[in-house]
Structure 1
Amino acid sequence: MNSSLKFILAFIISLEISLKASLTTNLIVIAFALIYLLVTRIKIKELILLIAVPFIASFTIFATLFWFSPTPDAYYAWNLSTRVYVYTLTIACVTRNTTATDFARSLEQNLHLPSKFAYGVLAAINIIPRMKTAVKQIRTSAMMRGMYLSFWSPVLYFKAILVALNSADNLAQGMESHGYVEGQKRATIVAIPLTKKDWLIFFTLLILVNISLFIFK
Protein backbone atom coordinates (compact mmCIF):
# COMPACT_ATOMS: atom_id res chain seq x y z
CA MET A 1 0.00 0.00 0.00
CA ASN A 2 1.19 3.53 -0.78
CA SER A 3 3.02 5.06 2.18
CA SER A 4 1.09 8.35 2.04
CA LEU A 5 -2.24 6.51 2.10
CA LYS A 6 -1.03 4.36 4.99
CA PHE A 7 -0.13 7.50 6.93
CA ILE A 8 -3.50 9.15 6.19
CA LEU A 9 -5.36 5.95 7.09
CA ALA A 10 -3.53 5.63 10.41
CA PHE A 11 -4.17 9.31 11.18
CA ILE A 12 -7.91 9.06 10.42
CA ILE A 13 -8.33 5.84 12.41
CA SER A 14 -6.47 7.29 15.40
CA LEU A 15 -8.54 10.48 15.25
CA GLU A 16 -11.87 8.65 15.00
CA ILE A 17 -10.99 6.25 17.81
CA SER A 18 -10.03 9.17 20.03
CA LEU A 19 -13.44 10.79 19.39
CA LYS A 20 -15.67 7.68 19.55
CA ALA A 21 -15.33 5.21 22.40
CA SER A 22 -15.40 1.61 21.19
CA LEU A 23 -13.36 -0.98 23.05
CA THR A 24 -14.24 -3.69 20.51
CA THR A 25 -12.96 -1.55 17.64
CA ASN A 26 -9.75 -0.87 19.55
CA LEU A 27 -9.17 -4.59 19.99
CA ILE A 28 -9.98 -5.31 16.33
CA VAL A 29 -7.51 -2.66 15.13
CA ILE A 30 -4.84 -3.98 17.50
CA ALA A 31 -5.41 -7.56 16.28
CA PHE A 32 -5.22 -6.60 12.59
CA ALA A 33 -2.12 -4.47 13.22
CA LEU A 34 -0.38 -7.39 14.94
CA ILE A 35 -1.36 -9.73 12.11
CA TYR A 36 0.01 -7.27 9.55
CA LEU A 37 3.29 -6.93 11.44
CA LEU A 38 3.63 -10.72 11.68
CA VAL A 39 2.81 -11.18 7.98
CA THR A 40 5.51 -8.65 7.07
CA ARG A 41 7.95 -10.74 9.16
CA ILE A 42 8.75 -8.29 11.91
CA LYS A 43 11.53 -9.40 14.22
CA ILE A 44 10.35 -10.91 17.49
CA LYS A 45 12.55 -8.49 19.45
CA GLU A 46 10.94 -5.49 17.73
CA LEU A 47 7.45 -6.89 18.32
CA ILE A 48 8.19 -7.44 22.02
CA LEU A 49 9.40 -3.84 22.30
CA LEU A 50 6.24 -2.58 20.58
CA ILE A 51 4.18 -4.42 23.18
CA ALA A 52 6.35 -3.82 26.24
CA VAL A 53 7.23 -0.12 25.90
CA PRO A 54 3.64 1.23 25.63
CA PHE A 55 2.58 -1.03 28.52
CA ILE A 56 3.80 1.51 31.07
CA ALA A 57 1.61 4.28 29.67
CA SER A 58 -1.31 1.92 29.13
CA PHE A 59 -1.12 0.49 32.65
CA THR A 60 -0.83 3.97 34.18
CA ILE A 61 -3.98 5.12 32.39
CA PHE A 62 -5.89 2.01 33.44
CA ALA A 63 -4.77 2.23 37.08
CA THR A 64 -5.63 5.93 37.27
CA LEU A 65 -9.13 5.50 35.89
CA PHE A 66 -10.00 2.21 37.60
CA TRP A 67 -8.18 2.00 40.92
CA PHE A 68 -7.59 5.64 41.83
CA SER A 69 -10.73 7.25 40.45
CA PRO A 70 -13.60 8.21 42.84
CA THR A 71 -16.01 6.72 40.27
CA PRO A 72 -14.17 3.75 38.70
CA ASP A 73 -15.35 2.67 35.28
CA ALA A 74 -13.79 -0.54 33.96
CA TYR A 75 -15.01 -0.04 30.39
CA TYR A 76 -13.70 3.53 30.17
CA ALA A 77 -10.37 2.47 31.71
CA TRP A 78 -9.91 -0.40 29.24
CA ASN A 79 -10.98 1.79 26.34
CA LEU A 80 -8.44 4.54 27.01
CA SER A 81 -5.63 2.15 27.92
CA THR A 82 -6.03 0.14 24.70
CA ARG A 83 -5.92 3.35 22.65
CA VAL A 84 -2.21 3.59 23.49
CA TYR A 85 -1.63 0.32 21.63
CA VAL A 86 -3.84 1.43 18.74
CA TYR A 87 -1.71 4.54 18.23
CA THR A 88 1.57 2.67 18.65
CA LEU A 89 0.77 -0.29 16.42
CA THR A 90 -0.84 1.73 13.62
CA ILE A 91 2.25 3.94 13.39
CA ALA A 92 4.39 0.79 13.41
CA CYS A 93 2.35 -0.49 10.44
CA VAL A 94 2.91 2.82 8.61
CA THR A 95 6.66 2.69 9.05
CA ARG A 96 6.87 -1.02 8.27
CA ASN A 97 8.73 -1.62 4.97
CA THR A 98 8.69 2.14 4.29
CA THR A 99 11.95 4.07 4.16
CA ALA A 100 12.24 7.76 4.97
CA THR A 101 13.25 8.46 1.37
CA ASP A 102 10.20 6.70 -0.08
CA PHE A 103 7.92 8.48 2.38
CA ALA A 104 9.36 11.90 1.49
CA ARG A 105 9.02 11.16 -2.23
CA SER A 106 5.44 9.99 -1.69
CA LEU A 107 4.57 13.20 0.16
CA GLU A 108 5.91 15.22 -2.74
CA GLN A 109 4.47 13.16 -5.61
CA ASN A 110 1.20 11.77 -4.22
CA LEU A 111 0.10 14.46 -1.76
CA HIS A 112 1.63 17.26 -3.88
CA LEU A 113 3.34 18.86 -0.90
CA PRO A 114 6.07 21.43 -1.65
CA SER A 115 9.40 19.85 -2.45
CA LYS A 116 11.09 21.95 0.24
CA PHE A 117 8.80 20.33 2.83
CA ALA A 118 9.56 16.83 1.57
CA TYR A 119 13.29 17.47 1.47
CA GLY A 120 13.08 19.15 4.88
CA VAL A 121 11.47 16.04 6.40
CA LEU A 122 14.09 13.85 4.79
CA ALA A 123 16.93 16.10 5.98
CA ALA A 124 15.57 16.16 9.54
CA ILE A 125 15.38 12.36 9.65
CA ASN A 126 18.84 11.85 8.18
CA ILE A 127 20.46 14.39 10.50
CA ILE A 128 19.42 12.50 13.67
CA PRO A 129 22.30 9.94 13.57
CA ARG A 130 24.77 12.77 12.93
CA MET A 131 23.42 14.69 15.93
CA LYS A 132 23.77 11.60 18.15
CA THR A 133 27.40 11.28 17.08
CA ALA A 134 27.98 15.00 17.67
CA VAL A 135 26.54 14.81 21.20
CA LYS A 136 28.82 11.87 22.02
CA GLN A 137 31.83 13.80 20.71
CA ILE A 138 30.89 16.87 22.76
CA ARG A 139 30.55 14.82 25.95
CA THR A 140 33.82 12.97 25.28
CA SER A 141 35.69 16.23 24.64
CA ALA A 142 34.29 17.69 27.86
CA MET A 143 35.31 14.63 29.88
CA MET A 144 38.87 14.93 28.52
CA ARG A 145 38.94 18.44 30.00
CA GLY A 146 37.63 17.20 33.34
CA MET A 147 33.99 18.27 32.73
CA TYR A 148 31.00 15.96 32.91
CA LEU A 149 28.05 17.07 30.81
CA SER A 150 24.89 15.30 31.98
CA PHE A 151 21.92 14.55 29.77
CA TRP A 152 20.10 17.67 31.03
CA SER A 153 23.11 19.98 30.97
CA PRO A 154 22.37 23.35 29.23
CA VAL A 155 25.97 23.49 27.99
CA LEU A 156 25.52 20.20 26.14
CA TYR A 157 22.38 21.37 24.37
CA PHE A 158 23.85 24.78 23.55
CA LYS A 159 26.81 23.17 21.81
CA ALA A 160 24.50 20.66 20.09
CA ILE A 161 22.40 23.55 18.73
CA LEU A 162 25.55 25.15 17.30
CA VAL A 163 26.42 21.85 15.59
CA ALA A 164 22.87 21.61 14.21
CA LEU A 165 23.00 25.15 12.82
CA ASN A 166 26.32 24.40 11.15
CA SER A 167 24.93 21.15 9.70
CA ALA A 168 21.86 22.99 8.38
CA ASP A 169 24.06 25.53 6.62
CA ASN A 170 26.20 22.77 5.08
CA LEU A 171 23.04 20.95 3.97
CA ALA A 172 21.65 24.08 2.28
CA GLN A 173 24.94 24.66 0.44
CA GLY A 174 25.05 21.01 -0.61
CA MET A 175 21.51 21.12 -2.02
CA GLU A 176 22.28 24.28 -3.97
CA SER A 177 25.49 22.78 -5.34
CA HIS A 178 23.43 19.82 -6.61
CA GLY A 179 21.10 22.12 -8.51
CA TYR A 180 18.21 22.45 -6.04
CA VAL A 181 16.25 25.68 -6.63
CA GLU A 182 13.23 26.43 -4.46
CA GLY A 183 9.98 26.76 -6.39
CA GLN A 184 11.32 25.23 -9.59
CA LYS A 185 9.83 22.08 -11.09
CA ARG A 186 12.00 19.03 -10.51
CA ALA A 187 12.30 15.81 -12.45
CA THR A 188 11.14 12.57 -10.81
CA ILE A 189 14.02 10.17 -10.30
CA VAL A 190 12.03 7.39 -8.64
CA ALA A 191 8.27 7.39 -9.18
CA ILE A 192 6.05 6.36 -6.27
CA PRO A 193 2.90 4.83 -7.78
CA LEU A 194 -0.58 5.40 -6.41
CA THR A 195 -2.71 2.60 -7.84
CA LYS A 196 -6.39 1.71 -7.78
CA LYS A 197 -5.51 -1.21 -5.49
CA ASP A 198 -4.10 1.23 -2.94
CA TRP A 199 -7.32 3.27 -3.00
CA LEU A 200 -9.42 0.10 -2.73
CA ILE A 201 -7.53 -1.10 0.35
CA PHE A 202 -7.66 2.39 1.85
CA PHE A 203 -11.43 2.84 1.55
CA THR A 204 -12.18 -0.78 2.48
CA LEU A 205 -10.26 -0.55 5.76
CA LEU A 206 -11.65 2.90 6.52
CA ILE A 207 -15.25 1.78 5.94
CA LEU A 208 -14.79 -1.35 8.05
CA VAL A 209 -13.37 0.67 10.94
CA ASN A 210 -16.24 3.16 10.77
CA ILE A 211 -18.84 0.37 10.69
CA SER A 212 -17.21 -1.21 13.72
CA LEU A 213 -17.16 2.12 15.58
CA PHE A 214 -20.89 2.66 15.15
CA ILE A 215 -21.96 -0.97 15.72
CA PHE A 216 -19.78 -2.12 18.61
CA LYS A 217 -19.18 -0.54 21.99
Structure 2
Amino acid sequence: VKNLMDYSIGWADTSVKAGDNYKNSEITLLNKVDDLGSFTGPGLLSPFNPYEFHHSAEFIRGFSNCIPSLNINVGSYVLDSGSGYSWTTEWFMKMGVHAVGLEINRTYLDVGRRRMGLNQPHLIIADAENLPFADGVFDAILGFDAFHHIPDRPKAMRAFERVLKNIGRVVLVEPGGAHEMNAISQSVMQKYGTMEIGMELSDVQMYIDGI
Protein backbone atom coordinates (compact mmCIF):
# COMPACT_ATOMS: atom_id res chain seq x y z
CA VAL A 1 0.00 0.00 0.00
CA LYS A 2 2.83 2.39 0.87
CA ASN A 3 4.47 1.81 -2.50
CA LEU A 4 1.21 2.55 -4.29
CA MET A 5 0.70 5.72 -2.24
CA ASP A 6 4.26 6.90 -2.87
CA TYR A 7 3.79 6.26 -6.58
CA SER A 8 0.51 8.19 -6.80
CA ILE A 9 1.80 11.08 -4.68
CA GLY A 10 4.95 11.32 -6.79
CA TRP A 11 2.93 11.79 -9.95
CA ALA A 12 0.55 14.31 -8.36
CA ASP A 13 3.09 16.40 -6.44
CA THR A 14 4.23 19.24 -8.71
CA SER A 15 6.86 20.29 -6.19
CA VAL A 16 9.10 17.32 -6.98
CA LYS A 17 12.07 17.93 -9.25
CA ALA A 18 11.30 17.38 -12.91
CA GLY A 19 12.22 13.84 -13.86
CA ASP A 20 12.11 12.38 -10.35
CA ASN A 21 8.85 10.61 -11.16
CA TYR A 22 10.55 8.76 -14.00
CA LYS A 23 13.42 7.78 -11.72
CA ASN A 24 10.99 6.57 -9.07
CA SER A 25 9.23 4.50 -11.71
CA GLU A 26 12.56 2.95 -12.74
CA ILE A 27 13.44 2.16 -9.12
CA THR A 28 10.05 0.59 -8.37
CA LEU A 29 9.44 -0.90 -11.82
CA LEU A 30 9.49 -4.49 -10.61
CA ASN A 31 6.61 -3.72 -8.23
CA LYS A 32 4.39 -3.28 -11.29
CA VAL A 33 5.43 -6.51 -13.02
CA ASP A 34 2.75 -9.21 -13.10
CA ASP A 35 5.08 -12.21 -13.46
CA LEU A 36 8.46 -11.38 -11.96
CA GLY A 37 10.05 -14.68 -12.99
CA SER A 38 9.16 -14.25 -16.64
CA PHE A 39 10.24 -10.60 -16.58
CA THR A 40 13.66 -11.09 -15.01
CA GLY A 41 14.34 -14.61 -16.27
CA PRO A 42 16.03 -13.48 -19.52
CA GLY A 43 18.54 -11.56 -17.40
CA LEU A 44 20.04 -14.87 -16.28
CA LEU A 45 21.05 -15.58 -19.90
CA SER A 46 21.68 -12.03 -21.17
CA PRO A 47 22.43 -11.16 -23.89
CA PHE A 48 21.26 -14.53 -25.16
CA ASN A 49 17.64 -15.47 -25.63
CA PRO A 50 17.06 -18.98 -27.00
CA TYR A 51 13.58 -17.97 -28.20
CA GLU A 52 14.55 -14.69 -29.90
CA PHE A 53 17.51 -15.23 -32.24
CA HIS A 54 17.43 -11.76 -33.82
CA HIS A 55 17.13 -10.08 -30.43
CA SER A 56 20.30 -11.82 -29.26
CA ALA A 57 22.08 -11.09 -32.53
CA GLU A 58 21.22 -7.37 -32.37
CA PHE A 59 22.57 -7.08 -28.83
CA ILE A 60 25.84 -8.80 -29.71
CA ARG A 61 26.26 -6.82 -32.92
CA GLY A 62 25.54 -3.56 -31.11
CA PHE A 63 28.14 -4.28 -28.45
CA SER A 64 30.71 -5.27 -31.07
CA ASN A 65 30.13 -2.00 -32.91
CA CYS A 66 30.91 -0.11 -29.69
CA ILE A 67 34.35 -1.59 -29.11
CA PRO A 68 36.35 0.42 -31.70
CA SER A 69 34.56 3.67 -30.83
CA LEU A 70 35.33 3.37 -27.12
CA ASN A 71 39.08 3.37 -27.86
CA ILE A 72 39.89 1.17 -24.87
CA ASN A 73 42.25 -1.71 -24.15
CA VAL A 74 43.24 -4.13 -21.41
CA GLY A 75 43.41 -2.19 -18.16
CA SER A 76 41.15 0.65 -19.28
CA TYR A 77 38.48 1.95 -16.90
CA VAL A 78 34.94 1.99 -18.32
CA LEU A 79 31.66 3.14 -16.80
CA ASP A 80 28.73 1.10 -18.11
CA SER A 81 25.88 3.52 -17.43
CA GLY A 82 22.41 2.02 -17.23
CA SER A 83 23.87 -1.48 -17.29
CA GLY A 84 20.62 -3.32 -16.51
CA TYR A 85 21.41 -7.01 -16.16
CA SER A 86 25.02 -5.94 -16.76
CA TRP A 87 26.02 -8.45 -19.41
CA THR A 88 27.94 -5.64 -21.12
CA THR A 89 29.82 -4.96 -17.88
CA GLU A 90 30.56 -8.66 -17.56
CA TRP A 91 31.92 -8.88 -21.10
CA PHE A 92 34.17 -5.88 -20.49
CA MET A 93 35.57 -7.62 -17.41
CA LYS A 94 36.23 -10.80 -19.39
CA MET A 95 38.16 -8.70 -21.93
CA GLY A 96 40.51 -7.38 -19.25
CA VAL A 97 38.75 -4.03 -18.83
CA HIS A 98 38.10 -2.49 -15.38
CA ALA A 99 34.35 -2.05 -15.74
CA VAL A 100 31.81 -0.51 -13.38
CA GLY A 101 28.14 -1.20 -14.04
CA LEU A 102 25.76 1.52 -12.88
CA GLU A 103 22.02 0.97 -12.60
CA ILE A 104 19.26 2.75 -10.69
CA ASN A 105 17.23 -0.45 -10.12
CA ARG A 106 18.69 -2.90 -7.59
CA THR A 107 16.76 -5.91 -8.91
CA TYR A 108 18.47 -5.83 -12.30
CA LEU A 109 21.87 -5.92 -10.63
CA ASP A 110 20.80 -8.74 -8.30
CA VAL A 111 19.81 -10.81 -11.35
CA GLY A 112 23.14 -9.96 -12.99
CA ARG A 113 25.01 -11.13 -9.90
CA ARG A 114 23.11 -14.43 -9.94
CA ARG A 115 24.15 -14.95 -13.56
CA MET A 116 27.81 -14.05 -13.00
CA GLY A 117 28.40 -15.84 -9.72
CA LEU A 118 31.47 -14.87 -7.73
CA ASN A 119 33.41 -13.54 -10.73
CA GLN A 120 31.75 -10.23 -11.37
CA PRO A 121 32.68 -6.62 -12.06
CA HIS A 122 31.75 -3.75 -9.76
CA LEU A 123 27.99 -3.15 -9.91
CA ILE A 124 26.69 0.01 -8.29
CA ILE A 125 23.18 1.33 -7.62
CA ALA A 126 23.24 5.02 -8.55
CA ASP A 127 21.75 7.82 -10.63
CA ALA A 128 23.47 8.69 -13.91
CA GLU A 129 22.70 12.37 -13.35
CA ASN A 130 24.53 12.32 -10.00
CA LEU A 131 27.50 10.00 -10.41
CA PRO A 132 29.19 8.91 -7.15
CA PHE A 133 32.73 8.92 -8.58
CA ALA A 134 35.77 11.14 -8.34
CA ASP A 135 36.69 13.42 -11.24
CA GLY A 136 38.64 12.06 -14.19
CA VAL A 137 38.68 8.35 -13.40
CA PHE A 138 37.19 6.70 -16.53
CA ASP A 139 38.68 6.24 -19.98
CA ALA A 140 35.26 5.76 -21.56
CA ILE A 141 31.54 5.58 -20.82
CA LEU A 142 29.05 3.28 -22.51
CA GLY A 143 25.31 3.84 -22.51
CA PHE A 144 23.90 0.69 -24.12
CA ASP A 145 20.21 1.20 -24.91
CA ALA A 146 19.96 3.21 -21.70
CA PHE A 147 20.44 6.94 -22.22
CA HIS A 148 16.89 7.45 -23.53
CA HIS A 149 15.60 6.56 -20.05
CA ILE A 150 17.38 9.54 -18.44
CA PRO A 151 15.16 12.59 -17.73
CA ASP A 152 17.84 15.32 -17.52
CA ARG A 153 20.23 14.36 -20.29
CA PRO A 154 22.35 17.55 -20.31
CA LYS A 155 22.96 17.02 -16.59
CA ALA A 156 23.94 13.40 -17.20
CA MET A 157 26.34 14.49 -19.95
CA ARG A 158 27.96 16.99 -17.60
CA ALA A 159 28.33 14.22 -15.04
CA PHE A 160 29.90 11.99 -17.70
CA GLU A 161 32.33 14.75 -18.65
CA ARG A 162 33.32 15.24 -15.02
CA VAL A 163 34.26 11.61 -14.39
CA LEU A 164 36.04 11.12 -17.73
CA LYS A 165 39.77 11.59 -18.08
CA ASN A 166 40.97 14.53 -20.20
CA ILE A 167 40.79 12.37 -23.30
CA GLY A 168 37.76 10.12 -22.94
CA ARG A 169 34.81 8.98 -24.97
CA VAL A 170 31.07 8.55 -24.49
CA VAL A 171 29.41 5.95 -26.72
CA LEU A 172 25.63 5.64 -26.86
CA VAL A 173 23.63 2.85 -28.49
CA GLU A 174 20.10 4.19 -28.93
CA PRO A 175 16.87 3.28 -30.75
CA GLY A 176 16.38 6.67 -32.47
CA GLY A 177 14.08 9.67 -32.29
CA ALA A 178 10.85 7.83 -33.14
CA HIS A 179 11.25 5.38 -30.29
CA GLU A 180 8.45 6.85 -28.17
CA MET A 181 5.98 6.45 -31.07
CA ASN A 182 6.49 2.69 -31.09
CA ALA A 183 3.43 0.83 -29.78
CA ILE A 184 5.55 -1.21 -27.36
CA SER A 185 7.21 1.93 -26.00
CA GLN A 186 3.86 3.61 -25.45
CA SER A 187 2.56 0.54 -23.66
CA VAL A 188 5.66 0.44 -21.42
CA MET A 189 5.36 4.15 -20.57
CA GLN A 190 1.68 3.77 -19.72
CA LYS A 191 2.10 0.64 -17.60
CA TYR A 192 5.37 1.37 -15.82
CA GLY A 193 5.70 5.17 -15.98
CA THR A 194 9.29 5.01 -17.23
CA MET A 195 10.79 7.39 -19.79
CA GLU A 196 11.02 6.01 -23.33
CA ILE A 197 11.88 9.18 -25.26
CA GLY A 198 14.27 8.59 -28.15
CA MET A 199 16.89 10.92 -29.61
CA GLU A 200 18.72 11.82 -32.79
CA LEU A 201 22.29 13.06 -33.28
CA SER A 202 21.03 16.65 -33.22
CA ASP A 203 19.56 16.02 -29.77
CA VAL A 204 22.87 14.64 -28.52
CA GLN A 205 24.57 17.80 -29.77
CA MET A 206 22.20 19.84 -27.62
CA TYR A 207 23.03 17.68 -24.59
CA ILE A 208 26.74 18.38 -24.95
CA ASP A 209 26.53 22.10 -25.85
CA GLY A 210 28.47 24.17 -23.35
CA ILE A 211 30.66 21.32 -22.12
TM-score by length of 2: 0.23
TM-score by length of 1: 0.23
Higher strand share: 2
Higher helix share: 1
Greater relative contact order: 1 or 2 (C-alpha under 8 angstroms, separation 6 or more)? Answer: 1
